[in-house]
Amino acid sequence: MASAYSLAWDVSLRDRNTFHLDARAHCVATVRDATALPSLLADPALRNLPLMVLGAGSNVLFATDRFEGCLIHLQCDSARIVDDDGEHALVHVDAGFEWDALVDWTLDHGLQGLENLALIPGQAGAAPIQNIGAYGVEVGKFIAAVHVYDRQVAAVDRLTAARCGFGYRDSVFKREPDRRIVTAIELRLPRGGATNLAYAGLNEELAAMGGLAPTPRNVAAAVRRIRQRKLPDPAIAGNAGSFFKNPVITRAVAVELQSRFEGMPVFPASTAAERKLSAAWLIEQAGWRGFREGDAAVSAQHALVLVNLGQATGPQLLALARRVAASVQEKFGVALEPEPRIVSATF
Ligand code: EPU
């Protein structure tokens, strides 16, 4: 029987990260069956090597030319309904299932909820790590449980949503990045009910599409159109989506900033005492939209996205990100925090 995992050495990462950075990894382990993880982790060839899971590479900046460890890539990608009471279904999805294909899979099975998260690049297993969110919806709302291999206790675990500590672009998986390997997720999705049109642009998009009804499929189509228009395509200009999180600050600070900076957008946050600012707006106001140095640039299409226009290196993009954050700090007194994982450097 073929081994459930395979190792490759000195591997180019250019096609394994959406920034298309020309970094290399000492080793890449491809895992076809998550039950093989204990034997992979015990493999003498990996002894003393740092390990990191790499899915589609859509939320990572390799700030080094070489990752001197082993990247673990999970390829298992089946999805199945494991429970269904007619109103809700519980769907078990392997970590390697491509996220956008999963959105279509759920719609094909008459399930809704994920339509606002259409076209987000990446694998299903990465979705809970940063609690992916877009157009008024965060995935944490639909996650029933996350299956992991817990390296700290060398055992599998199933974390129910309450144990996942979901927040804005945050979870226990992100806070302890090397502890758990996500092997599958369980989603609890409704079979009916209203779609989420909280994001103002969605209604406008449905209207522009000929006044379409807000069905789950139409909302997914509207979200795809908005994303394609607003966000640079990684196939054309390498990027990892939003490079910074939208800063969350106290309500009092938001009021004070709004009195000084006319037109500053302020959004609700998860608590009444907090507000969320638009990082894109802050960056644009600080004059960075469209800024380019060599092939490292701030997208002219969306100020929150850093892009590799060809031959930029990880250190060049990181240096640009630091300059952008420092200038926003100076102008507004607001700290920007990177959204993607930066390997292996501190911000
Ligand atoms: N804006 C600017 N300049 C720009 C772009 C936007 O000033 O170049 C301002 C506008 O005022 C706009 C506001 O920023 O109203 C918000 O922009 P947008 O609706 O595009 O959303 P975002 O806050 O920039 C967040 C997520 C995105 C997600 C969108 C839609 C974060 C860090 N990013 O971006 O997620 O798609 O909302 O819900 O929360 C990602 O995480 O990679 C990502 C793309």
Predicted confidence pLDDT, tens digits, the chain (347 residues) = 468 999 999 999 999 999 999 999 999 999 999 999 999 999 999 999 999 999 999 999 999 999 999 999 999 999 999 999 999 999 999 999 999 999 999 999 999 999 999 999 999 999 999 999 999 999 999 999 999 999 999 999 999 999 999 999 999 999 999 999 999 999 999 999 999 999 989 999 999 999 999 999 999 999 999 999 999 999 999 999 999 999 999 999 999 999 999 999 999 998 999 999 999 999 999 999 999 999 999 999 999 999 999 999 999 999 999 999 999 999 999 999 999 999 988 88
- In contact, 316 and 294? CB cutoff 8 Å: yes
Ligand 1 cavity residues, CB under 6 Å: 134-135, 199, 230-231, 241-242, 245-246, 265, 278, 280-281, 284, 289, 302-304, 339
The pLDDT of residue 3 is 81
What is the Cα–Cα distance from 62 to 74, expressed in whole angstroms? 19
Return the closest-CA partner of residue 286 out of 316, 258, 231, 326.
326
Sorted by sequence, the CB contacts under 8 Å of residue 42 that are 6+ apart come out as: none
The pLDDT of residue 2 is 62
Compute the distance from residue 76 Cα to the ligand 1 centre, in Å. Answer: 32
The pLDDT of residue 152 is 96
- In contact, 40 and 31? CB cutoff 8 Å: yes
The pLDDT of residue 63 is 96
- Ligand 1 atom closest to residue 240's alpha carbon, by position in its atom list: 42
Mutate to test the pocket of ligand 1, among 258, 304, 306 (most ligand atoms within 8 A of CB): 304
What is the Cα–Cα distance from 257 to 331, expressed in whole angstroms? 11
Coil, strand, or helix at residue 283? helix
Place of tokens 């939209």: 289
Model confidence, pTM? 0.96
What is the Cα–Cα distance from 12 to 55, expressed in whole angstroms? 15
**Catalytic residue, candidates 242, 289, 299, 341:** 242
What is the Cα–Cα distance from 229 to 302, expressed in whole angstroms? 10
**Catalytic residue, candidates 16, 115, 169, 180:** 169
